[in-house]
Structure 1
């Protein structure tokens, strides 16, 4: 009996040792300090398994009578085949993978016309698709596959080898990634061919999916998340367009995205429409020339059902994915309000949230370490505590490395309070911006789109803008949040552009001047929409109207010695339509106010300026 027990014990020990050895030999993800580490066995790209397939959706947008199928590209470690290893997925979807249209003359809408007009018909470019197969980006493959993830790419509807039509924020752009995620979780069909019947399964997927991407590629993770699709655990949208209205309009005003003067939603459609050439005529007729043209309304710039249905904020009720938002405070293409409005709503819903802001322009992901921890928690299920961190906001300070953000409890800074600032006369030179009572006088500016905001801010005197400034700051002043303006004005014409800027004076010159040394934040509005975004009325010359709106969110430390300037002018050559010069705006100073979110509130402001 004793011999039997000893033999049995030896056998068990041997077996356990063998299993341990086998486990050691198998490639598995490795985690240190809550982050997935680069694993040597996952790092040989020559051994990656790469394959293409088509996932069936629930819609038909190209009118061929068949459900549209999305082209999907998979890149996974060979261990998912040789060792039956299952891994989570990082999924990127885009309308750009097959190329885009060029910037031919006349592609954009002509902005040189009076307000309320549409402008001359523009040129419609065609996308020349790159190669037989779209070129799929390798950047995420290099970053995530060695850390124990599978990377999946897909082309959006009507682009590359995907069926359908681009709708630029339409319903199919939510349902397309949803279908791919459902395939990754075993709840939808994928096929080896675009028109074939041979099915392919995602047997190598754990069913845990995360999404990320920048700009349009950052919009689509949010679009997918609003469907509430099971399996989408976490998203990291970078500079996402969360509302087509907020991208192409501003408080009722027709406004271009920065750097793309004259762009509108139909221009973007042409820019990305790289799908099947035989389907393009149908798509152009039904989507671009009918749905988009009938809905976009370049005459008024008002909100309507077309724009409302392309806003992801009202659709968030079904969202359950953890959200890590990323944006630049000086992104004047996809402006920072896009990320803030979604982050704010996600917090209200009780979702796990975090936000990263830097001081630069379009794009810019969070530090890799932070992204790694986010995906490690929600996709690998490692309890790294990222969701319980005290600090929810990470902001890169003005002169810091983007990889080294400063941690804050939240955004806006919880210590920020609105300080109401009033105007004192002298705006054609430099009036006052103060907490004291404002003047009851009126001041006038004359519109002239030939002047840039820098021209106007640098001018010692100008009839084309009104400028109100604080005293020079005796110490740094931290602004965090959304500044709000109330402007009471009259116009000598039935319509007018309205542009408002917060600037840091004097403007720094030279190639090395940072934008944060000159521009604080800005916004634009249509005085005709003083009642609401959905209802405008022509201005009666000489009659005063009061309009309230927000400037773009910001978090900035204005340096000692600078002055904060509140500048009001009319047409902005970089963003608005270009009417003929001569429109006159009169401003009532005592009925015009700026609410500035200052860390430390009124006491901090008074201390800095007195």
Structure 2
């Protein structure tokens, strides 16, 4: 959106956002801090007159090997009146590789500078909304991107420590300079209390910095973020896409040609496409083992149907955190909650930052911890996640009619044999569960007598014989039954961008606070994927090494599915679809195997609220029709905003 169209707009705030909260008066308010009234921050400072400056934070890193410590370019917008009154303000920090290559938000905004190189436009609304309320907004270019030096190492040490260096500088532990080389001292205007926010790659950086335990980082808000880069680029040994780290580096790289070639070579060799093993390269990009070091509070938002940054990323991170935390789970895919439930999101984010950065005792930590969208436009608040009532339930696989098996009841005898069909699409695999489809096997529950909820991480345990040293195994849980659902597989991943706008903060001629409104994209369909999962059979023992299979021997292979939280309505049927390789969500490395499945020693484990019915000997009839409103998923899904 052009700032010229908004030249006449100085301040525009959506009615109702930041409504007065009934809370105790904070000490800062008692001391006369202008931007704190009735227990919350309010917009009293001029956004148009804000201090806008750019500095370069010095690091101890040098992965571009030029003999000069790498520097991180940081663009700052902060309230001038607060500085004039010597009021030190907290910081909202977004560290991103996207500021010059790809843009931020639904409208792909880029940073813009004046002729002197001073920031004039920051992407998104964070500065527009929060700077008038007594915050500074800091946008840092990750190493090797935009105006920073060094080389982007895609989730690695350089990336995380370059962002951490900014937090250190904000807390007086680092050095920065202006473009002319004069010192830039952050402690003159900030109290060092920093919150990091960002979607996708940006939120992943926030996770990584929090895992260092850095002092001064008080909260993070990771949106659709990664907690393990191995799990992003591998599915339990299954390769997502060839040369993926190198591709991501090229997309965001801001350095001259050739400067970062040694780093690209390290990405290629370290990621080890040939084996799919979890190794030292991936361990350096796995933030979960250091979750115990996180001191910051954490507010996570993640789409339940995100097939880009899949849900294991938030679930495994969430379950390891032992800090104040909050969780939003909408039904969309890779979408910012600002574009799903805008007013509620901004209000909640405002309250969250007021609590953890301004120190206002507004009670948000005592509110329900989790907010979940259960159906289009229907939201519920809950005490925790997964659901407290969810029980780990083992569901037997039955022989059924010999073609379509059953879910539930006693373990069934018999076998299923199929040969991998790499060309089998997801739509074909799940579309006709009652028919024989080459390349997959299907199991159905009876029609549900009452609704059930799956809340947590399901898994499928398979006892198999394979005629090759390995095969990939893919499992899908399917809700068969007509309902109106969020259309996350369409363009927009569950939202439609409208022609109207709403404004969220103050504006200048160069940087307006107005964004096109959005609406949920919904579709009435007769089935929906609840969750998916993948496993390379040769990595069944460990992700760190390959253990080949021997033809004729039986092996137990567990296929973990992605975490989910979905309600299955009464009258619907729950289905399990198992196939081998999946050419839509991964790049198969082993295809063509014939697999024999022992039903008696195989099962589905569900984190279940409620109970599945006991099926009959014959699976219920289920018919499905493809939806014209859905598009087929793309195999290659780059980590872009």
TM-score range, shorter chain: 0.7 to 0.9
Equivalent in the alignment of 1:373: 351
1:592 match: secondary structure: strand
Counterpart-to-counterpart distance in 2, 1:339 and 1:581: 30
Q: 1:565 maps to what in 2?
A: 575
2:34 is matched with 28
What does 1:229-268 align with in structure 2 at a 5 Å threshold? 229-256=214-241, 262=242, 264-268=244-248
Q: 2:198 is paired with a residue of what secondary structure? A: strand
1:537: how far off? 2.4
Give the structure 2 partner of residue 605 of structure 1. Answer: 612
Aligned to 1:416: 390
Which whole-Å CA distance do the structure 2 matches of 1:471 and 1:191 have between them?
68
User: Per-residue CA shift, 1:51-80, capped at 9, x if unaligned?
Assistant: 111011121111111111110000012213
Alpha-carbon deviation of 1:513? 2.7
Choose the corresponding residue for 1:359, options 315, 318, 331.
Answer: 331
Instruction: After superposing the two structures, state which structure 1 stretch, 76-85 or 444-453, moved more.
Output: 76-85
Do residues 522 (structure 1) and 529 (structure 2) align? no
What does residue 590 of structure 1 align with? 600
In structure 1, the residue corresponding to 2:478 is in which secondary structure? strand
Distance 1:579 1:85, change over 3 A: closer
Contact 1:467–1:567 (Cα < 8 Å) also in 2: yes
Determine whether 1:542 maps to 2:543: no
- The correspondence for 1:449, drawn from 422, 428, 437, is 422
More relative contact order in 1 or in 2 (CA 8 Å, sep 6+)?
Answer: 2
Offset from partner CA, 1:507-550 (integer Å, 9 cap, x none): 77998436895010011000111211112122222322111242
Query: Which of 572-581 and 183-192 deviates more?
Result: 572-581
Q: Which residue of 1 is the match for residue 65 of structure 2?
A: 63
Q: Distance in 2 between matches of 1:544 and 1:299?
A: 26
Supply the distance in 2 between the matched residues of 1:64 and 1:581 (Cα, whole angstroms).
45
Residue 428 of structure 1: how far off its partner (Å): 7.4
Instruction: Trace 1:77-92 onto structure 2 (pairs within 5 A).
Output: 77-92=79-94
> Do 2:195 and 2:218's aligned partners in 1 also have CA atoms closer than 8 Å?
yes
CA, structure 1 residues 138+327, in 2 after alignment: closer, same or farther (shift >3 Å)? Answer: closer
Report the Cα distance in structure 2 between the residues aligned to 1:85 and 1:217, rounded to whole angstroms: 29
Deviation of 1:489 after TM superposition, in Å, equals 1.1
Match of 2:97 among 77, 95, 98: 95
1:493 aligns with 2:455: no
Check 1:253–1:172 CA distance in 2 against 1; reply closer, same or farther (3 A cut).
same
Match of 1:481 in 2: 456
Matched, 1:469 2:449: no
Corresponding residue of 2:365:
387
Q: Residue deviations 1:55-109, cap 9 Å, x none?
A: 11121111111111110000012213433332111111101111159xxxxxxxx
Q: 1:64 to 1:240 in 2, by over 3 A?
A: same
The equivalent residue for 1:327 is: 302
Alignment pair present for 1:164 and 2:150: yes
Cα drift, residue 337 of structure 1:
0.9
Distance 1:226 1:506 in 2: 42
Q: In 2 relative to 1, CA 85–580 (structure 1 residues): closer, same or farther, beyond 3 Å?
A: closer
Paired with 1:590 and 1:425, the residues of 2 have a C-alpha distance of: 9
Measure, in 1, the Cα distance between the counterparts of 2:31 and 2:539.
68
Indicate conservation of the 8 Å contact 1:505/1:563, yes or no.
yes
Kept after mapping to 2: 8 A contact 1:332/1:362? yes
Aligned 8 A contact 1:129 1:274 in 2: no
Local SS of the residue matching 2:550 = coil
Q: Secondary structure at the match of 1:380?
A: coil
Pick the structure with more helix per residue: 1
What is the aligned partner in structure 2 of residue 192 from structure 1? Answer: 178
Does the Cα contact within 8 Å between 2:462 and 2:557 map onto a contact in 1?
Answer: yes
CA distance in 1 between partners of 2:279 and 2:541 (Å): 15
1:481, 1:448 → 2: CA distance?
30
Alpha-carbon separation, structure 2, partners of 1:427 and 1:148 = 67
Aligned twin of 1:174: 160
Tell me if structure 2 keeps the 8 A contact 1:483–1:553: yes
The structure with the greater share of residues assigned to strand is 2
Counterpart-to-counterpart distance in 2, 1:427 and 1:570: 22
Contact 2:328 2:370 in 1 (8 A): yes
Aligned residues: 536
Is the alpha carbon distance of 1:189 and 1:565 closer, same or farther for their aligned partners in structure 2, counting shifts above 3 Å?
A: same
CA distance in 2, matches of 1:298, 1:337: 21
Measured after TM superposition, the shift of residue 26 of structure 1 is: 8.3
Query: Measured at CA, do residues 301 and 129 of structure 1 come closer, stay the same or move farther in structure 2, by a change above 3 Å?
Result: farther
* Aligned residues of 2:178 and 2:184 also touching (Cα < 8 A): yes
Q: How far did 1:581 drift? A: 6.5
CA distance in 2, matches of 1:201, 1:308: 33
Corresponding residue of 2:127: 141
Q: Is the 8 A contact 1:470 1:565 kept in 2?
A: yes
CA distance in 2, matches of 1:173, 1:184: 18
Partner Cα distance (2:582, 2:127) in 1: 42
Helix, strand or coil for the counterpart of 1:589? strand
CA distance in 2, matches of 1:149, 1:201: 13
Q: Sort the Cα spacing of 1:506 and 1:557 in 2 relative to 1 into closer, same or farther, 3 A.
A: closer
**Following the alignment from structure 1 to structure 2, what is the Cα–Cα distance between the partners of residues 426 and 535?**
37
Paired residues of 1:425 and 1:439 also in contact (CA < 8 A): yes
- Equivalent of residue 200 in structure 2, options 208, 215, 218: 215
8 A contact 1:100–1:274 mirrored in 2: no
Q: Which residue of 2 aligns with 1:287?
A: 263
Q: TM-score, normalised by structure 1?
A: 0.82
Q: Is the contact between residue 458 and residue 507 of structure 1 (CA under 8 Å) also seen in structure 2?
A: no
Task: Give the secondary-structure state (helix, strand or coil) at the position aligned to 2:129.
Answer: helix
Q: Deviations over 1:365-398 (max 9, x none)?
A: 3722221221111111111122233x32211122
Determine if contact 1:242/1:342 at 8 Å carries over to the other structure: yes
**What is the rounded CA distance, in whole Å, between the counterparts of 1:526 and 1:582 in structure 2?**
14
